[in-house]
Amino acid sequence: MFITQDGAADHISSRRAFMKQGSLFVASAAMLSAMPAFAAIPLPVRKPPVKRILSLYDEGRKNRIRIPYHDGENYLSDAMDDLAWFMRDHRTGEAHVIDPKLLDYMYLVHARSGSDEPLHVISGYRSKATNDRLRKTMDGVAKNSYHLLGRAVDFRLPDVKLSFVRKVALAIRGGGVGYYPSHHFIHIDSGPIRKW
């Protein structure tokens, strides 16, 4: 109801205003009923970051390490330093940065193999002197090996059949896969996808 200047109630104006408000309410209700309910709108779900942990055993030095090297978003620099030292050259003691892609490849092979044992590292980084010495005494050692760049590892998983570990590594398609059943180890590297 509206009051005019002379104080009389204007019933007609107040009725029109009420009707106008009512029609706005009906129009708003119709629009809202046509929209999907908020509960039906899928909201993006952010998965919690997955921490990557490597569990390794150095067969040459008889050392073990279990280390988170990636927090789910970033590589951890202290862990990267520790892994470079752990995977250093067995003969010269020289350390080299290990390629993060190689570490991820190792992590995936280990996780997907179902092994309960640490990954047994036979050879990680190799200095040029060590690689040259091995080339003279062993077959299959490449002159420009990815070991020289911290991009290769020779390993075994003692509780998983070697042929199965090879299948897992090939399925991941993370780089090169070498199969050495007579020496009981697998080679993986972060180079191009290939096998031998």
Q: List pLDDT tens digits, range 44-100.
A: 777 778 899 999 999 999 999 999 999 999 999 999 999 999 999 999 999 999 999
pTM across the whole model:
0.75
Please spell the DSSP secondary structure of 66-116, one letter per residue: EEEEE-SSSB-HHHHHHHHHHTS-TTT----PPPHHHHHHHHHHHHHHT--
Q: Which residues pair with 55 in a beta bridge?
A: 66
Would the pLDDT of 27 be above 60?
Answer: no
Q: Domains in the chain, ordered, with CATH?
A: 2-40 (no CATH), 52-195 (3.30.1380.10)
Best CA proximity match to 46, nearest among 69, 75, 70, 72: 72
C-alpha–C-alpha distance, residues 141 and 183, integer Å: 13
**Confidence at residue 34, expressed as pLDDT on a 0 to 100 scale:** 52
Q: List pLDDT tens digits, range 120-153.
A: 999 999 999 999 888 887 777 888 899 999 999 9
